[in-house]
Amino acid sequence: MRIIVAGGDGFCGWPTALYLSKQGHDVTIVDNLVRRKYDDELRSNSVTPIASLEDRVAKWKEVSGKEIKTFIGDLNHYDFLSEVFRQTEPEAFVHFAEQRSAPYSMIDREHAVYTQTNNVMGNLNVLYAIKEFAPECHLIKLGTMGEYGTPNIDIEEGYIEIEHKGRKDTLPYPKQPGSFYHLSKVHDSHNIMFACKIWGIRATDLNQGIVYGLHTAETQLDPMLVNRVDYDGVFGTALNRFVNQAAIGHDITVYGSGGQTRAFLNIEDTVRCVEIAAENPADKGEFRVFNQFTEWFSVQDLAERVQKIAKEEGLDTQVKKIENPRIENEDHYYNAVNTKLRDLGLEPHLLTDDVIRDILRTAVENKNRIIKENVLPSITWK
């Protein structure tokens, strides 16, 4: 299958591109390399050293014998995107190419506008490119479980049956996003659903939980193929932050009460979920939603698990609660449905002690790269 992986230089996109290539698909990466520029802007970095995309792709061809084509450019430039579609004639378009940090979107007006312009307009361009150049192409779009927020009812997969004043209908599940980033994902979902209805596009919205883990079988083939690990208060997710704080002997800092509960999945499951979606495409005109996660944990639970593994590794670290920089419910009900991907064959890789230990040991090996002042939050919602 001819597959474009947009955002293929990033944390989810890179291992996905390698995995799909290994499975025999004809893979093309499209990326504007802006994720590397965010590091420069924020004076941050990946704990693991990351080679250039050109070198990564060349190394992949050397170790696997398989070629991944690359196009360097921005989805917001429609002439560029049109040429990519003309040259590749994609059968599936995997869309990871969005600014993905809630804190980054909350820095100030400029970053909020950038996030929504980059994400929403870029996604609209993809929809128009599919309509114009590849109407049978299946859009596999990375959404987020954060679109739903934390309602006091079960979270269904995309849709919910409502009875109101004696009448029933199946409607999109209500959205309660918690940042301008999460709002951009909601706008994407609405635009995709509308495009499916009016143009007959086929699309799968993968409402993904927080991704953890470091290695896939493909990224372990050579050090130059390693995936990035973010740890800072802007792009580092809770588990990564906690692990890297422990690696340098810093307190593990929990925001607020620590009762915030979120959905999670292993990076190995991310790549498999994309494959499942590609091999089982949505019908023409169908806007399909999969909740892409395997487990959920509270922030406090994660912190205590990291502390336990750190102590086993000889690292003495304490769990400390700090003022929450976000505006969010800290203690709430959380129960989400995630059956569709399992029904299609997903066999989850769960968060074991060994997975946490693997990330921790990598952080310890590279702890000289961890910028200590970056492990605490610097951006507030207020």
Identified catalytic residue from 19, 148, 181, 255 = 181
Structure-block tokens of residue 61: 């061809």
What is the rounded distance in angstroms from the CA atom of residue 308 to the CA atom of residue 317? 9
Which SS3 state, helix, strand or coil, does residue 354 take? helix
Told to judge if 114 belongs to the known catalytic residues of this protein, a careful annotator would answer no
What letter does residue 283 receive in the DSSP assignment?
P
Told to judge if 165 belongs to the known catalytic residues of this protein, a careful annotator would answer no
Told to judge if 148 belongs to the known catalytic residues of this protein, a careful annotator would answer no
Which value, to the nearest 10 degrees, does the dihedral of the CA atoms of residues 176, 232, 261, 310 take?
A: 170
- Length of the chain measured in residues: 382
**Closest to 374 in 3D by CA, of 172, 276, 234, 209:** 234
- Strands (E) across the chain are located at 2-6, 26-31, 69-72, 92-95, 138-144, 159-164, 167-172, 202-208, 210-212, 252-255, 261-266, 287-292, 295-298, 319-322
Report the side by side order of strands in the sheet with 210-212. Answer: 210-212, 261-266, 295-298
Which value, to the nearest 10 degrees, does the dihedral of the CA atoms of residues 198, 175, 272, 346 take?
A: -110
Identified catalytic residue from 88, 185, 231, 317 = 185
Q: Are 232 and 371 in contact (CB under 8 A)?
A: yes
How far is the CA of 228 from the CAs of 103, 176, 330, in angstroms? Answer: 19, 30, 29
Q: Are 57 and 35 in contact (CB under 8 A)?
A: no
Identified catalytic residue from 48, 88, 115, 144 = 144
What is the rounded distance in angstroms from the CA atom of residue 6 to the CA atom of residue 99? 12
Active-site annotation, residues: 144, 181, 185
